[in-house]
Chains A and B, each alone.
Chain A
């Protein structure tokens, strides 16, 4: 177990972490503004990943796969808002949580019914990994890192530099004060669900590029994403991203010790220890949204 092995594991951890971060950011935005944990986020990611299979029909290449996935994620997410979460807006957070769990099961069942349980892969060319110092880097790894970093930068730019982003942060900070400041919640919520869907769709397609596309992939991604959200302090976008990267690194770096099968558990161990020592998460004082 030399330096090269751990360097490669850390690089893989960073990639996994970025994919988790995107979904964690989607979850934390919904929690910060709509005030409930959205259990359907993982299955929106799955739908995005399946929609990515249409990418080659549209023109091929990773970019088209990503664009199809993001578009499907955004559409589904906004549809969930209008059909489900807007009518439930005045009810307790538990109602929306339960509804999101039900929607998650429904989406997974529909995917399985129409498309089956088979795993699929994007028809991308198989390319030999390039040696970069001690790392063995696949071109798709670079594409994943670039896409994730660009998406995260875009979301933070929207939140901090645009009028709608600032209003989203205002609603997250103090919903009642936002109302009496004339901020129309509906507009802010549509924007938020759109961004949350784009992020979930991207997360699903990037996971599909890295591994395979299957109806369960979003559910498997949801648990580390929730862990990252809590680790990075619920409602804190920066925390969600850093939490995702930490979970990804912890999972991959533990592989030589616990094996591939149990690496998921290590992410939760990190979460458990954090909750015991610092239940408010790692970034409670630096919260940006809340």
Chain B
């Protein structure tokens, strides 16, 4: 059974549809990249998956269960976690508090200890306010916060935005490791070429619709399509 199934999904704000008829799926322990130009609807797509868009219709299922009527705060309990593109940590809370506030964690202390082992820099900065962290540290905290409830699907909205090239590599390596932690990944990325190198499959979104769906390998090897949609990175 697919982890995530999206079929004929339309979504928008007010009367305007930003997404229309989107089809995609994420299989267990896959990394799937969504690429597309600015304004293609990538962020709206992830927000629709997370229940943060006021108007969504179509089919949206997580492990066979419909998400459409489920409020955002209950999707985490289903097993879907999310790292937004910006404001992805609670800036005025400490690193430790950012992890403590996440709901739906059975063994909170044990889980925090495990994550601090996976992200050792956070252990050193445990009492620092998240707003005082560097870009790289903040991104690690965002991942750790999202991984607190041991999700089965992690939705990432441009996790490498505004990071230095060295940090981009580090973040992509972290994402590559996620399937080993039993986490499937839906990754929205502006740096599509780099994202596809760590992905199993990819979808290209244009004007709110999926225009191409293929394996990451084939997407990267199609020079004409790559020139059109994948940009320089």
Q: Which residues of A contact B (CB under 8 A)?
A: 163, 166-167, 169-170, 172-174, 176-185, 287-290
Residues of A within 8 A of B76 (CB): 180-182
Residues of chain A with a CB closer than 8 A to B50's CB: 180
Q: Which residues of B contact A185 (CB under 8 A)?
A: 73
How many A-B residue contacts, CB cutoff 8 Å? 74
Selected from A163, A172, A290, the residue in CB contact (under 8 A) with B100 is A163
Q: Please report whether the interface of chain B is mostly helix, strand, loop or mixed according to DSSP.
A: loop
Tell me, yes or no, whether B103 is within 8 Å of chain A by CB. yes
Number of chain B residues close to chain A: CB under 8 A: 28
Stretch of B18-26, B91-99, B199-207, B219-227 that contacts chain A: B91-99
Q: Residue A182 contacts which of B73, B87, B90, B91 (CB distance < 8 angstroms)? A: B73
15 residue pairs A–B, Cβ–Cβ below 8 Å: A163-B100, A163-B101, A169-B92, A170-B101, A174-B91, A178-B101, A180-B81, A180-B84, A181-B103, A182-B73, A182-B74, A182-B77, A182-B102, A182-B149, A183-B73
Q: Which residues on B sit within 8 Å (CB–CB) of A179?
A: 51-52, 71-73
* CB <8 Å contact, B52 and A169: no
CB within 8 Å of A: which residues of B? 50-52, 71-77, 81-82, 84, 87-93, 97, 100-104, 145, 149
In the complex, are the beta carbons of B90 and A177 less than 8 A apart? yes
Knowing A176-B52, A177-B87 touch, does A183 contact B101 (C-beta < 8 A)?
Answer: yes
Q: Which 5 residue pairs are nearest across A and B when measured between Cβ atoms?
A: A182-B103, A182-B76, A179-B72, A173-B90, A170-B101
B100: chain A residues at CB < 8 Å are 163, 166
Are B52 and A170 closer than 8 Å at their CB atoms? no
- Cα distance, A183 to B77, chains bound together (Å): 10
Contacts of B91 in A (CB 8 A): 173-174
Report A32 CB to chain B, min CB distance, Å: 10
Docked CA distance A167–B90 (Å):
10
**Judging by beta carbons under 8 Å apart, are A181 and B75 in contact?**
no
A287 and B145 contact, CB distance less than 8 A: no
* Whole-angstrom CA separation of A178 from B50 in the bound complex: 12
